[in-house]
Structure 1
């Protein structure tokens, strides 16, 4: 029997998106956990069957699914990102400047995030180490990591055996080797087409696997948060709010202070004019939460409204959508401080340097699609031995933050493009200064 249009519309309205279901799972998980904590007396049913039974098994099962994705996803993504540099036939001055700019701004972003995180201290006041950590090896790893010198940490980036590093999930050596492979593929060009295609196709497989795993995220979030709140009640709510405010503050500082200073100093353009002309792209990125979908609009805006040569933006913007994820790096930096404080893990200068290096390199392998930063976040946690259970508290509110950090990601791409293009003499200043540049006739009439 053929469905009537009314029934089809009803089905469409009833179908909830992943974002909505995760947010619903967040609320239901908190409510369920609070009910278990305050209204249901302790006993076999509450503690053994639900809290340490169903909630624990399902929640930890979801965590393991995420762990399963980390190494192959990051390895293939970084290879594809590095190899794509050769696709534009540009590995000269523009390419070097762009790469240096992206790496430096991402490192600055992580530094800002760590500073804001330590200033706000979102995870202090709640000790969760005895609640959700069943495997203390992660805490032992953190203690062992603190004993390593900076020299040893830097040397450990170079793998003795890349296959062993892949098997053990040692992410810094994995990233180093993946970058090396990607650059070699780019240099060989057509000679390595088959290998390049293999990694691109395998990367597509991993991205599809990620999207499938994310379908069960609402169930995982519900169980993880139910168990957390069943054990500690409302004590976990304030740290979540403080974490969210910390990320938003760090994002604002990166976008409205760091980027604007870079535009003024290196591009010698008015940052307020830039923001006014770029706000529509930021709004689009915020609504879609994906850097990749914003690439055409970003290039078009830089060309029509700011006078940037397309030969520059057509290289820097797609590359930035692959390897420049300042907003994602900021989330990871604040999340590290948040989780370390929650679980009582002391991080020293070596650990913070490791976080900056790992988050900066991880941004190269972070695909421009919604919420994939949560997958690579587990890699950053692994680098300093933090418990992955801390991601459970972050996941529920991550989509809201994901939309904001995507806007920051694509703004960083545009700022880099403007700086590089200006230094190469590829910006039409008259177009940039013209308030009506790029506007349609209808837009100009509406403005008047």
Structure 2
């Protein structure tokens, strides 16, 4: 039994937990329909408590991990030009892939025609939040209070402060080297905490999937099943075809190796539906499994978790075409171009806004004169799609990280090509004592 336990990897455990969670949830839903006991003690009780604790464990690591890693990374860059290159390359890649995702989504949606103007739009309502102006976005990037930024989890402000702090550490001589050494030690500790939290994953995933199976209303799929299928298809195409092609084109690395090593992070992203919650896992995978230098990963991954929204862009592209078709409104080539430009730029501008995906979609719909109320049509299936697009988003973050690391000669090719490098099992005490 001990041999079998060691043989079963984290990925296998998470997949088994996902399957069991869905089966248990569906079984309880069908055996005890409408049961107050199941609702109170299982759905809102055990599943909710265990799942929420697991996500909270991941989220509690995000701010210290981002701040410490970024300080470590930037303090080791004595040349300001190198930091500028990292930022320029990363931002350019994220904007490029977001634009590609939108074009692909619009093309497939126009081709397949998921919308039908026979759908009822009576009584639809959606209260769209206002996105901040471009001037306010630029102002909000710089924190007035770094501690408050950390408390609020404002990632862009944390990134800016950490970069400035790390740059200062690199330029104060011996005192700075002592501070940098402390942060290096803290980074090792926080990465070990990430590894420990990953062992809770099967239990957390089981609870999250069980709750999802108990609460998801399948009746909402009836009218929008074609929309759901198109978004899902484009998400999978972008995640498993476009990204691997870009990785091969810009680095020459084996995409199959990349996808195999990304499975843990993708499963975390799918089960939590949160790029920020998955960030600690993605950092661990990128550095220890893919061989990316901390100086690159600590910059590109937090930035990607904040502004890289290819999965959301795909949803917006398909949803725009879908809503236009439902309302019988014809969009011109200029309208589609406007959608691509608006959504690409909005991916940065609305990064700190709650419910960012729907805020961005509301902006896009207003830009081309479509009724914002149409968003209500797709809300019922958005939860499942959100899980998939989060997995796509973090995959894009890692591809960008590898491309930038390869161009900066900050990638350990031996680690990348070793399929067993950095496996979680290598960190547990049992494995170390063997």
Partner of 1:350: 334
Q: CA deviation at 1:355?
A: 0.9
Q: CA deviation at 1:377?
A: 1.8
Is 2:5 aligned against 1:13? Answer: no
- Separation (CA, whole Å) in 2 of partners of 1:282 and 1:180: 31
- Separation (CA, whole Å) in 1 of partners of 2:295 and 2:257: 22
The alignment yields a C-alpha RMSD, in angstroms, of: 3.8
Structure 1 residues 104 and 346 mapped into 2: Cα distance closer, same or farther (>3 Å)? same
Partner of 1:413: 397
Q: CA deviation at 1:86?
A: 11
Partner of 2:386: 402
Q: Specify the SS of the correspondent of 1:15.
A: helix
8 Å contact from structure 1 (residues 292, 368) kept in 2? no
Structure 1 residues 321 and 15 mapped into 2: Cα distance closer, same or farther (>3 Å)? same
Q: CA deviation at 1:116?
A: 1.2
Partner of 1:102: 94
Q: CA deviation at 1:393?
A: 1.6
- Separation (CA, whole Å) in 2 of partners of 1:330 and 1:404: 11
**Structure 2 residue aligned with 1:247, among 217, 231, 235?**
231
Q: CA deviation at 1:354?
A: 1.4
Is 2:144 aligned against 1:194? Answer: yes
- Separation (CA, whole Å) in 2 of partners of 1:378 and 1:179: 17
Partner of 1:317: 301
Partner of 1:119: 111
The correspondence of residues 128-167 of structure 1 with structure 2, limited to 5 A, is 128=120, 131-132=122-123
- Separation (CA, whole Å) in 2 of partners of 1:18 and 1:178: 40
8 Å contact from structure 1 (residues 285, 294) kept in 2? yes
Is 2:374 aligned against 1:374? Answer: no
Q: CA deviation at 1:88?
A: 7.5
CA offsets per residue over residues 408-437 of structure 1, 9 Å max, x none? Answer: 010000000000000000000011011110
The correspondence of residues 12-411 of structure 1 with structure 2, limited to 5 A, is 12-15=41-44, 91-126=83-118, 128=120, 131-132=122-123, 174-182=132-140, 185=142, 193-194=143-144, 239-365=223-349, 372-411=356-395
Q: Specify the SS of the correspondent of 1:404.
A: helix
Give the length in aligned residue pairs: 302
Q: CA deviation at 1:374?
A: 2.2
Structure 1 residues 237 and 98 mapped into 2: Cα distance closer, same or farther (>3 Å)? closer
- Separation (CA, whole Å) in 1 of partners of 2:148 and 2:353: 21
CA offsets per residue over residues 263-286 of structure 1, 9 Å max, x none? Answer: 001021000000000011000100
Is 2:394 aligned against 1:434? Answer: no
Structure 1 residues 380 and 293 mapped into 2: Cα distance closer, same or farther (>3 Å)? same
8 Å contact from structure 2 (residues 106, 318) kept in 1? yes
- Separation (CA, whole Å) in 1 of partners of 2:387 and 2:414: 33
Is 2:424 aligned against 1:424? Answer: no
8 Å contact from structure 2 (residues 271, 387) kept in 1? yes
Structure 1 residues 175 and 333 mapped into 2: Cα distance closer, same or farther (>3 Å)? farther
- Separation (CA, whole Å) in 1 of partners of 2:311 and 2:397: 11
- Separation (CA, whole Å) in 2 of partners of 1:18 and 1:393: 28
Q: CA deviation at 1:128?
A: 4.7
CA offsets per residue over residues 306-343 of structure 1, 9 Å max, x none? Answer: 11001100111011011001001110110000000000
Q: Specify the SS of the correspondent of 2:116.
A: coil
Structure 1 residues 253 and 378 mapped into 2: Cα distance closer, same or farther (>3 Å)? same
- Separation (CA, whole Å) in 1 of partners of 2:344 and 2:46: 31
TM superposition score normalised by structure 1? 0.59
Report the more deviating stretch, 421-430 or 250-259. 250-259
8 Å contact from structure 2 (residues 119, 223) kept in 1? no
- Separation (CA, whole Å) in 2 of partners of 1:321 and 1:279: 17
Q: Could you list the runs of 5+ residues in structure 2 that have no partner in the other structure?
A: 1-35, 49-69, 75-79, 155-215
- Separation (CA, whole Å) in 1 of partners of 2:283 and 2:368: 38
Q: CA deviation at 1:92?
A: 0.6
Structure 1 residues 377 and 243 mapped into 2: Cα distance closer, same or farther (>3 Å)? same
8 Å contact from structure 1 (residues 289, 370) kept in 2? no
Q: Which structure 1 residue ranges, 4+ long, deviate > 3 Å from structure 2?
A: 7-12, 16-19, 85-91, 131-135, 195-204, 236-239, 365-372, 441-445
Partner of 1:73: none
Structure 1 residues 285 and 198 mapped into 2: Cα distance closer, same or farther (>3 Å)? closer
Structure 1 residues 366 and 276 mapped into 2: Cα distance closer, same or farther (>3 Å)? farther
CA offsets per residue over residues 192-244 of structure 1, 9 Å max, x none? Answer: x427778888897xxxxxxxxxxxxxxxxx9xx9xxxxxxxx9x966500000
TM superposition score normalised by structure 2? 0.61
Report the more deviating stretch, 111-120 or 90-99. 90-99
